[in-house]
Structure 1
Amino acid sequence: MKQVLDISPVNQSPRIQKLIDALYARNPEVEAERACLITESYQQTEALPITLRRAKALEHILDHMTLVIREDELIVGNLTAAPRSTQIFPEFSFQWLTEEFDTLAKRTGDVFNISEETKRKLTQVFAYWGGKTVNELATEYMYPETKLAMSHNVFTVGNYYFNGVGHISVDYEKVLKVGFNGIIREAEQALAEADRACPDFIKKRNFLDAVIITSQAAIRFANRFADLAESMAYQAGGKRSQELQTIARNCRTVPANPAGSFYEALQSFWFVQAIIQIESNGHSISPMRFDQYMYPYYQMDMAVGRLTKDSAQELLDCLWVKFNDINKVRDSGSTKGFGGYPMFQNLIVGGQDQEGIDATNELSIACLEASAHTKLPQPSISIRVWNKSPNEFLIKAAEVSRLGLGMPAYYNDEIIIPALVNRGLTLEDARDYGIIGCVEPQKGGKTEGWHDAAFFNMAKVLELVMYNGRLDGVQVGPQTGEFTSFTSFEQIEKAYHEQMEYCVGLLANADNAVDLAHGARCPLPFVSSMVDDCIGRGQSIQEGGAWYNFTGPQGVGVANVGDSLLSIKELVFNRKLYTLAQIKEAVEQNFGGAHNGSGHAQVSPDIIEEVIRRMLADGKKITPEQLDKLQQIAKNGLPAAAPATTGGKYDKLLQDIDTVPKFGNDVAEADELARYAALTYCRAVEKYKNTRGGRFQPGLYPVSANVPMGGQTGATPDGRKNGEPLADGVSPVSGRDVNGPTAAANSVAALDHAIASNGTLFNQKFHPSALSGRAGLEKLAALVRGYFDQKGMHVQYNVVSRETLLDAQKNPDQYRNLVVRVAGYSAHFISLDKSLQDDIINRTEQMFN
């Protein structure tokens, strides 16, 4: 019988707005407590193996950190004393924070307050960590050529280079079913059955002991909240006293034991979510298929009358607010690429089950309703769509899209499931996929995906082609021939392929260096205890304990490279209007526009030392003048080119570039070259293996790194000026998709999404009037289905007018609640750096014909 879903609105509790107002009452703060506690623990455990040191450290933090139950909360478990604030994780990196102490509160985006007392405490504990961080060890593992390419902005591994790994979804269902007491019993049994004669028994014992230590610490952590709730209940009156007593009972029961109700299941889930992010500051800790593993508890309580739709919704809404209490501080460079305080906690609903049957249920709708009620950036809600998804489910999703939150994101079962099977997942596991962070599919509870492993600037590869492997005058890539000497387009394609293969090889070295460093210095026993089959194998996820192991770096600038290649092919080799020398000159002169200098790399002193070493090794003499110049570059970076004074010399060229078809308009020749550009990157990436026994898999999305990466990239032959943003994910260049939303979707679907199994990202923006009435919702649902029928992987929609966004820039205080889709996540618009705001404003505003 065809499933009928009730998508009628549910009442919103007055409690929810109070919780939201309290959460956003002030700027987030940097707190020092965790940094002090972990330093105390490390100082006491220096003789222990690293896995046990990590377990003891988490135990020390959970046993001694300040606990807070915020007013009106029904789900408890804090990471910081102040709302929406951040702890510090010096074991990963700290030097950048010391340098930014005095600018954190003055940023143009992602502002954090930090007191002088906190600065003093952090400065004290940082003295212990010099030479001990993951960041420092990773740098030591990298080739000189790798660091050279990174310094010239060919790629960045900043996510895990400075922070914890994250990007994981654990087996939440297991904790709900057996509790941490069950996990302790499993670890004890594995330890008892282990072969003591096996050479790696000692490492297995250390890991299993670490699992037991952290699981016991999690139970004590919950009991501390039970104690606090009980003491607060004595002082509270009336209804709040009863609520606190219920909270105390919940915390006594879970996560130690199996959850016995929907409320207990929510509380157990939250303790897991919070402790994972206390152990490590990696973001994208994603609940994934929340509507599946939570549904039995919801269904049971509804059946026995323990819940009503309204009371269940209030609990869900409280949890949705709680997601937004998690925060982290990033370095200023990363903040430009990840603006808006994002935590990327992706929660996905709908889709099919492991048997291939549609799994959409009442809780799927309730989750969408929670996002509509709270109107907050977290969780980053997504939906799975396939040919048997109920139409009313898509209509409900479209209703939420129409609210202008940039959510939900839509994912295509029909392409993602085969793509994951192709990477080695069983069909049952592939059908049970969820989304990590932005757009990365994986099987939860069995995967260490190392998603967002790097951001690779595809436009820089084209720049290497144009300069025979040189960037800013330095030989970064191989010599593939002087651009102006090429006599066929095929020679350009060959050079692009060679430069890509070389640079991706360096990218693999960088990622594996960081991967090894995390394994050596920061294994994560708590999170590993909930990933199959770490306990059975006696290995952390950093050692390869997960069933599935991947490394997923992202290519950025697909449309720019595709459009640039077609401009060259059409104007030089087909129409013969220009020479390659003229194209190169125009790019060097920024098409006659003033250079902003942002495309010129800052070169670190260690790179300069390497240049000097190589010059000496080659028998070259270094004059005092050359040495002084090199030292000046190390200090100030490479100088920007002088502003061009050519006036309108390149106006005709720009006009001719405009006549060349552009990706995003359903024109085969443009789509084919964008597909070629992306495939060249993807095929190079998937050749490599990682340190955990798995493989690299490519993705094509930028988070919001397309903006700072564009700022580091000179002009390109598609007419893009120096410093302008690169194209967003697999989306067309902003403003170039002029044939409507269906044509843009057709072009994006022409890419090979299956090979980009780490995820692709397609952003579209609609004027709100396009989605008015039931007809507008039906059109959006039809657009999603049409795009997915052509094997597109993902799409998401901003539904907001250009006028609204411009006014929000001018009058931010009037738009404090405006949430928009940035990339694979949503954020409050006014919290974003202006460069990210401008990128969103400039995206093509679509309408339905």
Structure 2
Amino acid sequence: MTKVLNDLYNMTKSDRIEKLKDDLYSVTPEIESERAILITQSFKETEDYPVIIRRAKALEKILNKMTIVIRNGELIVGNLTKKPRAAQIFPEYSNKWLLDEFDTLAKRKGDVFLISDEVKSQLREVFKYWDGKTVNEFATKLMFDETIEAMDEGVFTVGNYYFNGVGHICVDYGKVLEKGFKGIIADAEAEKSKSDKADPEYIKKKNFLDAVIITSKAVIDFAGRFAELAEKMADETSESGRRAELLQIAKNCRTVPANPASNFYEALQSFWFVQSVIQIESNGHSISPMRFDQYIYPYFEKDIKSGRINQETAQELLDCLWVKFNDVNKVRDEASTKSFGGYPMFQNLIVGGQTIDGRDATNELSYMCLEATEHTQLPQPSISIRVWNKTPEDLMLKAGEVTRLGLGMPAYYSDEVIIPSLTNRGVTLEDARDYGIIGCVEPQKGGKTQGWHDAAFFNIAKVLEITINNGYSSGKKIGLDTGDFVSFTSFDEFLKAFEKQMNYFVKLLVNADNSVDIAHAERGPLPFLSSMTDDCISKGKALEQGGAHYNFTGPQGVGIANVADSLEVIKKLVFEEKKISAGELKEALDSNFGKSASIGNEAIEIANSVKNINGVENLSSETIISIIQNLIDEKNKVSSNNNSVGSIQGENVRQMLLNKAPKYGNDIDEVDEFAREAAAIYCDEVEKYKNPRGGRFQPGLYPVSANVSMGQQTGATPDGRLAGEALADGVSPASGRDVSGPTAAVNSVAKIDHCKASNGTLLNQKFHPSALAGMSGLENLSALVRTFFDQKGMHVQFNVVSRETLLDAQKNPDKYKSLVVRVAGYSAHFTSLDKSIQDDIIRRTEQTL
């Protein structure tokens, strides 16, 4: 890195930042009830109004009545909760799961939340109103019985929007900065005045535009409340420095977001009001700033050139905003914490890439955003970098500098793959060049897209298991009758059966996603979010109702590597070399290679059933699970003594499967082609379907951390994976199977057709810290990324932490409270993760360069 860049982009961190971080993480997150109470009051008051107006008036009431706070020392203001990192409740989407988990929130292994008896009582009363009225309940009623059965068996899960509000979106932040909400109100008024009142759609359009006006005025008033609070606090403080800061905050809040931002500080404050209110309106996560270095840069450039602000002050403001991102939180049900562990909010912010006319977009703010991540070392925002052949090497080296901190950030994305993948879906070239990343790894054009990303997780390995069992799962017929595995006479016959089962279950997945989509359109349209998304105002429709310019639904496949390795075993060892018969393989899988299966979720279900029996009402689930586990352990001891030969034979079979067939991730064409084929079977079927908003389905290949929970619901697989073990992560090789080095691994992954998976693919790699030491380490990392992208890989991200450190952090969590790692498409504090997710990260192959 040049001396100039060292001087400009390695600035000293202000003392304020550590204080803000300490205050933020000094408490355990809590559940708050204020929003739930206010929205319920509002809905009771607006029973006779159209749903879009009810939603607008509800947000208005919340913003007018919720407790506002300016935290000590902060320069960017706007809270979602009274206490740091607390979570509000959104009963209109779902709530019964929370009732069931009130007493376990503080005891669970990951994503712990405290909840007071008073809040429990308040929420119980609130939830009565929503019984039968939630988005979740309506969506369930729309689904086919076989769809729900497939979900119950772990074939796919429709988790995010099924239980929560709409997220995974980037609004047009630049529009708010340029015209303010007064300008958006003027747009809505103008659209209303020119609309034809004789048009049969006029009434709906007018209601939507009125809702936009109501919410826009509400956020202006919300900012005004902060101005008043800041002035009051300024009058009460004896510290002259803080008094001046508070008066400046008040001035900012009286100006934005009502009006256009006139400087860098106002732009950051206006941005944050938008970011926070979106998440007050709906608890959908992945509200992503995306190309922050592009739409904020004009305000920074103007202030620097005029001398209004210097580099150090601008960096401190940026660092303060980075801390603020981490004040956003949400509570998920315990099962979801297995797929989304570590309090993730997936606020993806990306730097670099191209301008809409195909020039390099890198600017000073690109480096400063990376510097802010280096200064704060927090999970949010989930920072990313766009890479193309004209990306400056200095930016790559700066990104590498952040990577080797061990935060798992930034994630790297290839313009050379993503831009054509989006144009192939009908996005214009200019819009495709302006893409950013939503949530984990999902590309979209910000401000114009309702991508419905992360719409579902589809367990491809589970479908393989069902194919081997001729449509059965857990003794139940849930799939098609595609033939007895033992009777197949060729590999091609088996592959055709697998493809039939895949196509059948993808259709059920589409039913589930479309049911959730319809439920949100009818019960949960979001006027504030829609007001900043083209073309909602001109169409007079909320984005859930098809108002956005681009409309997609993006479910993702999980378990590609396991399926590739399994298909290679079946083809090579069963049908070609005949080292094991189909019957012997099936017997080994049915017995989990002679090993007893983990008690896992079955015990929890049994425990909940047992608690309903007279005489055990007072036993906790944990006690009952312990009793059941002891009984099963005793049974397994007897079984093991009687069948030790079977166990040995099962393990011998497993070792043959592991060692006698090549594995994906080692640059071996014959198995890598199966990864490409398995991905194509899924992608080709998904993209056939349409959604209710007039758009199409687009596939992705990433798991968040659902590869862990889905593995728990999947039996033993022919690649040698034991029942209940985590599936492979994204398009990454299965843990420990990529033994030929990082270049061989990326060569294998690049053979998948990433352009087909336009909803995103995910490659995780883990390096020992020594691999990235010194300037040579940074240069080698840059070369590896560019090599992967030259071969048309889409995305890669890195954990740079030793196995020894992670193991010690498991044993001594108090020593590692600040340890941040890459989980999947996001980073989280390692010690906040459920142990199953921690174990999955530890198992990943540790590479060296």
Shorter chain as normaliser: what TM range? Answer: over 0.9
1-side partners of 2:525 and 2:555: how far apart?
A: 21
Q: 2: distance between equivalents of 1:770 and 1:757?
A: 32
**CA deviation profile, 1:31-74 (whole Å, cap 9, x unmatched):** 00000000000000000000000000000000000000000000
Q: For 1:518, what is the secondary structure of its paired residue?
A: helix
Separation (CA, whole Å) in 1 of partners of 2:461 and 2:112: 31
Residue 409 of structure 2 is matched in structure 1 by 407
Q: Say whether the 8 Å CA contact 1:598–1:722 is kept in structure 2.
A: no
1:359 is matched with 361
Name the structure 1 match of 2:794.
793
For residues 553 and 484 of structure 1, the distance between their equivalents in structure 2, rounded to whole angstroms, comes to 32
- For residue 793 of structure 2, what is the amino acid of its counterpart? G
Find the counterpart in structure 2 of residue 456 from structure 1: 458
Contact 2:593 2:647 in 1 (8 A): no
Aligned mates of 2:295, 2:257 — CA distance in 1: 15
* 1:715, distance to aligned residue in structure 2 (A): 0.4
Q: 1:520 aligns with which of 515, 519, 522?
A: 522
Query: Comparing 641-650 with 148-157, which one deviates more in the overlay?
Result: 641-650
Q: Residues 465 and 499 of structure 1 are in contact (CA less than 8 Å); yes or no, is this contact kept in structure 2?
A: yes
The within-5 A match list for 1:18-97 is: 18-97=19-98
The answer to whether structure 1 residue 651 and structure 2 residue 651 are counterparts is: yes
Kindly provide the amino acid, as one letter, of the partner of residue 649 in structure 1.
Q
The answer to whether 1:106 aligns with 2:107 is yes
From 291, 294, 305, give the equivalent of 1:292: 294
Question: How many angstroms does 1:652 deviate by?
Answer: 3.1
Distance, in Å, in 2 between the alignment partners of 1:169 and 1:812 is 35
Matched, 1:261 2:263: yes
The CA distance in 2 between the partners of 1:100 and 1:8, in whole Å, is 46
User: Aligned-pair distance for 1:674?
Assistant: 1.1
Partner of 1:117: 118
Equivalent residues of 1:710, 1:726 under 8 A apart: yes
CA contact (8 A) 1:151 1:603 kept: no
Mapped partners of 1:27, 1:712: distance in 2: 31
Superposition deviation, residue 655 in structure 1: 2.8
Matches within 5 A, 1:98-177: 98-177=99-178
Structure 1 residue 265: Cα displacement: 0.1
Write the deviation string for residues 477-525 of structure 1: whole angstroms up to 9, x where unpaired: 1100011100000011100110000000000000000000001000000
- Counterpart in 2 of 1:680? 681
Following TM superposition, by how much is the alpha carbon of 1:163 offset from its aligned partner in structure 2, in angstroms? 0.4
1:840 CA drift (Å)? 0.4
Matches within 5 A, 1:80-479: 80-236=81-237, 237-479=239-481
AA aligned to 1:458 is I
1:158 deviates by 1.2
CA offset digits 1:539-594 (Å, max 9, x no partner): 00011000100000010000000100101111111111111001100001111222
| 2:493 paired with 1:491 | yes
Aligned to 1:623: none
Match of 2:737 in 1: 736
Structure 1 stretches of 5 or more lacking a match? 605-635
Instruction: Report the counterpart of residue 591 of structure 1 in structure 2.
Output: 593
Partner secondary structure for residue 752 of structure 2: coil
Mapped to 2, the partners of 1:165 and 1:796 lie a distance apart of 26
Per-residue deviation at 1:472?
1.1
Q: Kindly state the Cα deviation for residue 5 of structure 1 after the two structures are TM-superposed.
A: 5.3
Q: Distance in 2 between matches of 1:518 and 1:743?
A: 44
Task: Tell me the amino acid that sits aligned with residue 648 of structure 1.
Answer: I
The one-letter code sitting in structure 2 at the alignment partner of 1:647 is S
Q: Partner of 1:607 in structure 2?
A: none
Say if 1:480 and 1:495, in contact at 8 Å, map to a contact too: yes
Q: Deviations for 1:789-826, whole angstroms, at most 9, x for unmatched residues?
A: 00000000000000000000010000010000000000
Report the Cα offset of residue 600 of structure 1. Answer: 6.4
> 1:563, 1:3 → 2: CA distance?
48
Map of 1:629 onto structure 2: none
Quick check: 1:601–1:712 contact (8 Å CA) kept in 2? no
Residue in 1 aligned with 2:611? none
Please give the alpha-carbon distance, in whole angstroms, between the structure 2 residues aligned to 1:542 and 1:519. Answer: 5
Task: Give, in angstroms, the shift of residue 165 of structure 1.
Answer: 1.4
1:592 match: secondary structure: coil
SS in 2 for 1:181: helix
- Residue aligning to 1:783: 784
Does the residue aligned with 1:411 lie in a helix, a strand or coil? strand
Displacement of 1:684 in angstroms is: 0.8
Identity %: 67
Alpha-carbon distance in structure 1 between the residues aligned to 2:395 and 2:754:
25
When the two structures are superposed, what TM-score results if normalisation uses the length of structure 1?
Answer: 0.95
Unaligned runs of 5+ in 2: 607-627
Letter matched to residue 685 of structure 2: A
Counterpart residue identity of residue 114, structure 1: I
Given that residues 411 and 795 in structure 2 are in contact (C-alpha distance below 8 angstroms), is that contact kept between their aligned partners in structure 1?
yes
* Contact 1:598–1:712 (8 Å) recurs in 2: no
1:559 to 558, 561, 574: 561
Question: Partners of 1:542 and 1:492 in 2: how far apart?
Answer: 41
1:770-849 superposed matches below 5 A: 770-848=771-849
Distance (Å, rounded) in 2 between the aligned partners of 1:299 and 1:591: 64
- Letter of the 1:495 counterpart: A
> Is this contact kept in 2: 1:599–1:714, CA < 8 A?
no
Mapped partners of 1:430, 1:777: distance in 2: 29
Q: 1:279, CA displacement in angstroms?
A: 0.2
Shift, 1:654, TM fit: 2.3
Separation of aligned partners in 1, 2:230 and 2:589: 65
In the alignment, what sits opposite 1:619? none
Amino acid at match of 1:833: D
SS of residue matched to 1:104? coil
Q: What CA RMSD, in Å, does the superposition of the two structures yield over aligned residues? A: 1.6
CA distance in 2, matches of 1:502, 1:359: 44
For residues 143-173 of structure 1, what are the alpha-carbon distances to aligned partners after superposition, in whole Å with 9 as ceiling and x for unaligned?
Answer: 0110111111100001111101100000000
CA distance 1:801–1:3, change in 2 (3 Å) = closer
